[in-house]
Amino acid sequence: MTKAQRYEALLPRVLALLSGEPDMIANMANIASVLHETFAFLWVGFYIVRQGELVLGPFQGPVACTRIARGHGVCGAAYAQAKTIIVPDVEQFPGHIACNPLSKSEIVVPLLASPRCVIAVLDIDSDTLNAFDDTDRIYLERILQECYKVLC
């Protein structure tokens, strides 16, 4: 299956997991798990905005950084800019925070309450270069939009 086909097959499962569950942490935990399981990414998890910084939330994978300042690293940049960031090679990203030396590429997608109000970010790391593209961005943004709809 293509990447898009895998995401299409995953969407009904995600919607079923979110259906009727208003707890943000529970939904984040299941989203991280299903993405990790489906794509075998190195690390999948959420950082939640707490008092102006990102704090580690539910995740699947190796031990991670606990706190990330706004504007620092890929997660902090996505938080500050309120937009998805795709990094084909983390070694080329200025200020990259190396939580895990096996990480080679990364995508960070903000969970938005409004166009400029980030409440969390979804961070996904791969142990291969150039693992993420617009297909990932489109589907992951859609998944997070569905997650936010459940919370409202």
Higher pLDDT, 147 or 133: 133
Q: What is the mean pLDDT of residues 66-70?
A: 96
* Encoded tokens for 3: 């990447």
Q: Whole-model pTM above 0.85?
A: yes
Res 72 pLDDT > 80: yes
Mean pLDDT, all residues of the chain = 94
C-alpha count within 13 angstroms, C-beta hemisphere, residue 151: 18
Quote the pLDDT of residue 150. Answer: 79
% of the chain at pLDDT higher than 90 = 84
CATH number of 3-151: 3.30.450.40
> Looking at residue 52, what is its pLDDT?
95
The model's pLDDT over 47-59, given as tens digits with 9 standing for 90+, comes to 999 999 999 999 9
Spatial contact of 109 and 137, defined as CB atoms under 8 Å apart: yes
pLDDT tens, position by position, 78-125? 999 999 999 999 999 887 777 778 899 999 999 998 888 999 999 999
Query: Phi-psi category of 84—alpha, beta or left, where left has phi over 0 and alpha has psi -120 to 50?
Result: beta
Secondary structure, 3-state, the chain: CCHHHHHHHHHHHHHHHHCCCCCHHHHHHHHHHHHHHHHCCCEEEEEEEECCEEEEEEEECCCCCCEEECCCHHHHHHHHHCCCEEECCHHHCCCCCCCCCCCCEEEEEEEEEECCEEEEEEEEEECCCCCCCHHHHHHHHHHHHHHHHHHC
* Banded model confidence at residue 152, pLDDT cuts 50, 70, 90: low
* pLDDT score at 94: 84
- More confident site: 151 or 32: 32
